[in-house]
Structure 1
């Protein structure tokens, strides 16, 4: 009888009482944050073990930067008087940010088709943890890619002229834009097929890559196209990063890229949440 009472009260002869467990509600903020970090770690570990993701995240952007430097670097510098590396490094970072978001969206489609999202949905896990964990992983991926491309850029002559705070602000630009772009791509991934998503985003990314201020200065484009090139989101991000690292306006492009990013979050945030929930609940 005493043994039963000891089990019930959590006490044993010669041992301290068992610690009391304070249960957390499934929708508590602390649980959401902890489980979002777990989901983020799960995705990052999966990406790190996938050679294709490593190539997409690190090798391909570095080779692209080297290609631009070898093929176009000197000619652009001679024509504009501005070292081309200060436009090409931000441009490659932004392109890699956009391309990586598509790979992440394809991973989301795979998790949906295999039923993994549905299994998570039936477990005592915070409903928002899956989506926020994915966005956290995207932020880490963008930061790692940015640092790797910057390391290659430094080897090619890229330098920071305005100190550590401006350098940190420069790194925050692709992270902010990458989070907003990932939200947009996630929303599109919930309503489209994987092949169609890759095709559409690939076409848009390629067009923007050749019509931005990192490729050549805005005055090199036809007059009727200059306003479009200067104000498209890639150009705003590139101009902000170049201004923070080397020379050029800072406030205006920073305001523009923040406006673009906030706009994408506002427009696609709710569809991404609804689409993610629908995919988890029904698998479609």
Structure 2
């Protein structure tokens, strides 16, 4: 018995292999992918989240078609679906970002972010993984909305390559908005976040070129409507389906989206770190 105990005492344990440092780019990518998968699995298992992110935008598209479709088409001379489909893809990107930000608030209050901060995980993985999950969510939701729009009469008059290029605009716009909302989520409570973002979303939804053409608005409001970020993306997406200018609205969309990312990313990083530290 003593011999077995002695043998166990002298058993050499294998050394822990650490080919990459905790802050290496390889681990950042790997840990971000794990965080992305965690968020996606959580969203898929939560019925209210699926309804808010997928079902609600599709129903909204159908309601716009039933209630206002013929009126808008007769007033503009173009099928209303070419404006409402791009608009709904952007609305879905915004509403999904709000749901994700509320989830971030819950993770902070329950201490989950704090537990992640004490683990050997790359410090940037939480935020980057969240943005990766947002990109996948926006991509899938946009595909579903485009499929619903196709059933309502949307056709890709400029070819399938242009149809694929349409997916870029909701993703660009959605990522910029997601960074903005993430910053707000780390600085405010859930109820305050909903109230603030609901006002912004409502104003942008009803004052853009997808709802009605810019010329339908009062003259003093037309420049504002034409150059707000949703209108820029909508006009580019219209050009890629029905035909029309794409270059100028593309540049404006890039300016708005990258501007939001550059302006709000650093405050979002600081807020995320603070939220993780407060939950320890």
TM-score by length of structure 2 reads 0.94
CA distance in 1, matches of 2:13, 2:203: 69
Answer whether contact 2:142 2:167 (CA < 8 A) is retained.
Answer: yes
Answer whether contact 2:36 2:133 (CA < 8 A) is retained.
Answer: yes
Query: What is the correspondence of 1:228-247 to structure 2 with a 5 Å cutoff?
Result: 228-247=224-243
CA distance in 2, matches of 1:144, 1:240: 20
1:197 aligns with 2:230: no
Secondary structure of the 2:187 match is coil
- Deviation, structure 1 residue 23: 2.9
- Deviation, structure 1 residue 200: 0.9
Change beyond 3 A, Cα 1:9–1:229:
closer
- Deviation, structure 1 residue 245: 1.6
Q: 1:250 aligns with which of 246, 255, 270?
A: 246
- String of CA shifts for 1:54-91, please: whole Å, max 9, x gaps: 10111100110000001111111111111110000000
The equivalent of 2:96 in structure 1 is: 100
1:83 aligns with 2:79: yes
Q: 1:158 aligns with which of 139, 154, 157?
A: 154
Range moving further from structure 2, 168-177 or 108-117: 168-177
Give the paired residue count: 276
- String of CA shifts for 1:219-240, please: whole Å, max 9, x gaps: 1111111000000011111111
- Deviation, structure 1 residue 255: 0.4
The equivalent of 1:26 in structure 2 is: 22
- Deviation, structure 1 residue 212: 0.4
The equivalent of 1:184 in structure 2 is: 180
Task: Let me know the Cα RMSD of the aligned residues.
Answer: 2.0
1:276 aligns with 2:272: yes
The equivalent of 2:38 in structure 1 is: 42
The equivalent of 1:74 in structure 2 is: 70
1:210 aligns with 2:188: no
Answer whether contact 2:94 2:174 (CA < 8 A) is retained.
Answer: yes
Change beyond 3 A, Cα 1:76–1:267:
same
Q: What are the ranges of 5 or more consecutive residues in structure 2 without an aligned counterpart?
A: none
- Deviation, structure 1 residue 249: 1.2
The equivalent of 1:144 in structure 2 is: 140
Answer whether contact 2:35 2:129 (CA < 8 A) is retained.
Answer: yes
